[in-house]
Structure 1
Amino acid sequence: MSEFKVRHVGAPNTLDWRAWLENKQGQAVSAWHDIPLYADESKQILNMDTKKGKLRFVRNCFPHKGYIWNYGAFPQTWEDPSATHPDTKAKGDNDPLDVCEIGEQVGYSGQIKQVKVLGVMALLDEGETDWKVIVIDVNDPLAHKLNDVEDIERHLPGLIRASNEWFRIYKIPDGKPENQFAFSGEAKNKKYALEVIQECNEAWKRLASGKSEPGEVNIANTTQQGSKGFGAVQPNSIPAANPQAPAPIDSSIDKWFYISSSNI
């Protein structure tokens, strides 16, 4: 979305680095609460915020090196930790909906992509429902050929299977157990995914309005007038832009981990 840009503060690859989104007036906004969910609801085109989050490098679990898609989240969605989903039998993970964008262009932190929904997987992460919505950038060369989950296997064979494996094993090198999936790992179709998005958008509305208890969730925003967190952040409390060169990354980050069948 052209009305937003990224404000960089500090050096990437350090704990001091931050990336804020700001509007045309130079005011910092919340990527979670202030960016609209839909870029064009009539065409089912959604906004996706590309994220890296806190300083954390995922392990290279052979044959996957780093993330195998652009990883981000849908704004104005919330996986309610007090609500048990009837199909997964597990409560939400208290985060916005995670999104895997499978197009060929590598995104950058803070980028807002316009995407269309193809399907969804239900990861059970430490007993919580952690949906992974599968989407493609509307500007990707393959976007016109991918309209539902079955099209992914037709045009990108093996990607769903690789994504399932990636999420199952990526925490094993850190000494954690294999993740599990609902639906035996099956990726549900576009219709089901859109229903999940709608449910999580409604949950976010309850969160923003104060009908749901936020707990430790930050609900500060600059655009949701009447919401509990509106105006909670003062413009001068956000650091000015101060981009710096990336810090070197420790060579151990490039280490490969080979997960044998006995581990999973």
Structure 2
Amino acid sequence: MSYTVEERGNPNSLSYRLFFKNAEGKYISPFHDIPMYADESQNIFHVVVEVPRWTNAKMEIATKDILNPIKQDVKKGKLRYVANVFPHKGYIWNYGAIPQTWEDPAHKDKDTDCCGDNDPIDVCEIGSKVCSRGEVIKVKVLGVLAMIDEGETDWKVIAINVEDPEANALNNISDVQRLKPGYLEATVDWFRRYKVPDGKPENRFAFNDEFKDKDFAIEVIKSTHSFWKALVNQKANAGELNCKNTCVSASDSPFCCSVDEAKAAVSETCPCGKEESIPSSVDKWFYYEKK
């Protein structure tokens, strides 16, 4: 299955949206309509790339908007960018999410003793290619980091694009440690400190800051898939989440989005326009002493 994206609004502005279409040209939700598995027999997963490596704009699947387009996170009315905390520049991996997963905020994880963060599960793709925003890639899962973000469980799956030249050599988290020395330590450092420039405390992690292996990660992903199933089958409280989809729910479901409704939702947004400038402050490097 192949997917394409359609830009709406002005890039680098509050109006910008990235909508998804399937191979038939039908608008879809990247949260709900793209299958979690690319190949279940081989444990190959789909990942929706939200943020290409080395970039700073905090783009994410808009879980509360109809059709869940990718848009930039907003804080106090301004577009949100992650700071460059020395020695890092922007995101140090291709960052995205596995579709058809959900970290249930009503479920307290037995390992972290914290509830989910109400989002699809996050992925750090560590291959050599810088992906494009909205690209849907197939990945091998290698491990997972359990970040605790403001009292919520926020899993960070480590994975590699199956098309990467090193994919055959990377099969578990220990292979990353061996073949990409320093990368996992840099990943922990990045997640620990990236919110400090915004005046927030350092994040913490379960399991003494250590990564869990591939098998553990896959079980975590499967559990978030089961939470998602409960969500779209109306067995879990959706809250403000928009569960409208064009491919998953039956026609008599309140979550079913017709072709006409989907087209109308997209047409209500602004046409793609001129790219706006990125603030010069985004290139600043932020220094502070590690604790």
Normalised by the shorter chain, which TM-score bucket?
A: over 0.9
Superposed displacement of residue 245, structure 1: 4.2
Task: Label 1:152 to 1:34 Cα distance change in 2 as closer, same or farther (>3 A).
Answer: same
Q: Write the distance in 2 (CA, Å) between the matches of 1:26 and 1:195.
A: 33
CA RMSD of aligned residues (A): 1.5
Q: Write the distance in 1 (CA, Å) between the matches of 2:130 and 2:270.
A: 24
Q: Write the distance in 2 (CA, Å) between the matches of 1:241 and 1:116.
A: 37
1:17 partner letter: Y
Which of 54, 66, 74 is equivalent to 2:90? 66
| 1:212-240 C-alpha deviation (Å, 9 max, x unpaired) | 01001111100113354122743222128
Q: Write the distance in 2 (CA, Å) between the matches of 1:167 and 1:42.
A: 32
What residue in structure 2 maps to residue 114 of structure 1? 138
Q: Which 4+ stretches in 1 moved above 6 angstroms?
A: none
Matches within 5 A, 1:216-235: 216-226=240-250, 228-231=254-257, 233-235=261-263
CA contact (8 A) 1:209 1:228 kept: no
TM-score (structure 2 length as normaliser): 0.86
Matches within 5 A, 1:48-63: 48-51=47-50, 52-53=59-60, 54=72, 55-63=79-87
CA contact (8 A) 1:49 1:72 kept: yes
What residue in structure 1 maps to residue 117 of structure 2? 93
1:256 partner letter: W
CA contact (8 A) 2:15 2:270 kept: no
What residue in structure 2 maps to residue 238 of structure 1? 266
Superposed displacement of residue 246, structure 1: 2.5
Matched pairs, number: 261
For structure 1, the residue ranges without an aligned partner over 5 or more in a row are none
CA contact (8 A) 1:210 1:228 kept: no
**2:240 partner SS:** coil
CA contact (8 A) 2:232 2:249 kept: no
CA contact (8 A) 2:48 2:97 kept: yes
CA contact (8 A) 1:208 1:228 kept: no
Task: Give % identity.
Answer: 49
CA contact (8 A) 1:7 1:241 kept: no
| 1:74-123 C-alpha deviation (Å, 9 max, x unpaired) | 00000010010001000000100000000011112111010010000000
